[in-house]
Each structure stands twice: as C-alpha cells, then as structure tokens.
C-alpha cells in the first residue's frame, strides 16, 4: 500500500473458501481490510494474503482488465476484481465468491477448462480453404472498415467467463455452449476473411447451441469489456435459420491483395520490416 494512501474505511471481506482436499463444502471466512481511495478488490485480496491469511487462492495476472484471469463474484455480480474499486461497490461489507456455473478448483479459482473446450469446439479462428495462404501469407486480405465494424466488438472479449457466470441457462444446463463461445463463433462468422461458418453451424445449431439461449441478456450486462454476447447469439440464430432455409447470400471470403502497394495504408505509418524467415 503506498504511504500516501490514507485508510478511508475498514471493509469486511466475506470470502468464499474451499479446498476440495480438506473441505466438504465451500464456507465463508471474514477478513477486515483497511481500504483507501482507488483500492481495487484485487488489492484487497493481496492485502489479505500478505497480512491475514497466506492460504487464500485466486487467479490473476495483468492487474489492468486485459487478461481476464480475475473474474469473480463481487457482491453477487460477476466482474473483474482488478477493475473494480472497493469503495465503488461496498460501504461496510463485500462478498467475494468464485464465479458460479463452474467447479471450484480452490477458494476463488473456478475451473474454466469446460468453457475453453466449448470455445475450441467452435473453431475460434479464421477458417479458409486456401490453407497454404494461411500458413505462409503472400499478401494481405482486404477488409473494409465496415467489414471490421461487423465483428469488432466481439474481438474485445477477454474470456474472463463473467458472461458464463451470469447466464441463467448455463446455471441449469451445463451442456449449453454459453455466451462466450457463441459470441466467439459469431465473431469469426462475421469476419469476411473467414469461410468456416457452415462448419461452425454444425455445432452452434445443435441442441445445446444458440437456440438454448432465452435472451435474458445477463451476459451483456455482466461483460466488463462492454461486449454484447446476447446480440451475437441472436445474430447467430438468425444466420442459422437463413442458412437452413438457403436464404443467405453466399459470399466468397474476401480477396487477397497481391504484392505491396495495393492496399491504402494510413499516412505516417512506417513500412513493415523485411521478412526474416
């Protein structure tokens, strides 16, 4: 804690503890944390670990809302611990729990493996038939700013699993693919460089795919990065139906620009360095 930071208030952290090796069920342990202006929940957890209880476990990495590691349930809302200031959400008490809808590995660490398995099953990457070009690109793919706009917001997803924790459908049915993987599928479906939509449709159009979503919209409300997975899923449903009815316009993936100078780089951008391999 910096010396200049004055303690404003003491806050009781009610933290869910669980060690599957010793505990039969999760329980809540309370810690009193001196809080100053600007202190995040992640800082509070560090204070507990350094001063009160070194056995507390949680997951974190970047400390600035980029890596998506520290998603947890704060006062009942799934969000990032590093991105949430304590005094913004708590007066005297703060409950800190692991993200629901996942198994707990320990304390505040959820097991996200199932989410990444689902994510992987939807081919979250650009799929093209010209594989040689993917592996050894000889040019740039042309994509207009409008093309980019169609999927840009979904690229902001940091896979923190807050949307998965907020989803009421996933709470009752663990087989549902969930908002994060489905939004990722929509992100690549909308990418004009991609040609893998029909492959993804086989997964997203299954019984536990997009049609399981009831549009509660909690995923979009929970997302700390402002992504709208609920919207992505509705677009995904529409595309699935149009593809089934053969009403979608068949578009070839965007063309490649051959050789330098065909694209229009923005001014004042230095040239790329020469290829080294």
Partner 1 sequence: MRETKYWTWHMAAGVVIFFLLGLHMLIMHLGGTTHLFAPFGGEAVSKVNSVFRDGRLFFTVTYILLLGVALYHGLYGLRTILFELTLKPIVEKLVTFVFVVLGLGLFGLGTWAAIVVHAIAKTGARG
Binding region for partner 1 (CB under 8 A): 169, 172-175, 201-202, 205-207, 209, 211-212, 237, 240-241, 243-245
The least distance separating partner 1 from the CB of residue 257, rounded to whole angstroms, comes to 35
CA distances from 213 to 13, 113, 117, 156, 221 (A): 34, 21, 19, 21, 15
> What is the total residue count of the chain?
277
User: Minimum CB separation from partner 1 for residue 129, in Å?
Assistant: 20
Cβ closest to partner 1, residue 117 vs residue 133 = 117
Q: Toward partner 1, which CB reaches closer, 172 or 276?
A: 172
> CA–CA separation, 59 vs 247, rounded Å?
46
Shortest CB 212 distance to partner 1, Å: 8
Based on CB atoms, which residue is closest to partner 1, 246 or 251?
A: 246
Q: Provide the CA 170 distance to its chain's centre, in angstroms.
A: 15
How distant is the alpha carbon of residue 188 from its chain centre?
15
Contact status, residue 113 vs residue 153, Cβ threshold 8 Å: no
E strands, 88-239, are 93-97, 104-106, 109-110, 139-141
**Minimum distance from CB of 133 to partner 1 (Å)?**
28
Residue 60 or 211: which CB sits closer to partner 1? 211
């Amino acid at each position: 804690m910096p010396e200049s930071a004055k303690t404003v208030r003491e806050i009781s952290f009610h933290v869910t503890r669980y060690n599957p090796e010793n505990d039969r069920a999760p329980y809540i342990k309370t810690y009193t944390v001196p809080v100053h202006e600007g202190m995040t929940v992640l800082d509070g957890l560090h204070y507990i670990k350094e001063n009160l209880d070194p056995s507390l476990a949680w997951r974190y990495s970047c400390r600035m809302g980029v890596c998506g590691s520290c998603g947890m349930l704060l006062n009942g809302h799934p969000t990032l611990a590093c991105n949430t200031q304590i005094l913004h959400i708590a007066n005297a008490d703060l409950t800190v729990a692991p993200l629901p809808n996942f198994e707990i590995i320990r304390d505040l660490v959820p097991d996200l493996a199932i989410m990444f398995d689902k994510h992987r099953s939807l081919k979250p990457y650009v799929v093209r038939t010209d594989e040689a070009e993917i592996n050894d690109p000889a040019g740039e793919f042309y994509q207009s700013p409008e093309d980019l706009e169609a999927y840009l917001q979904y690229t902001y997803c940091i896979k923190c699993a807050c949307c998965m924790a907020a989803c009421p459908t996933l709470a009752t049915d663990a087989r549902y693919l969930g908002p994060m993987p489905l939004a990722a599928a929509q992100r690549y479906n909308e990418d004009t460089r991609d040609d893998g939509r029909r492959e993804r449709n086989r997964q997203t159009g299954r019984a536990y795919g997009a049609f399981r979503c009831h549009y509660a919209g909690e995923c979009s409300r929970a997302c700390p990065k402002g992504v709208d997975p609920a919207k992505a899923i509705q677009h995904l449903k529409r595309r699935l139906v149009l593809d089934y009815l053969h009403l979608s316009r068949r578009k070839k993936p965007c063309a490649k620009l051959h050789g330098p100078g065909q694209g229009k780089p923005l001014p004042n951008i230095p040239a790329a360095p020469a290829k080294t391999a």
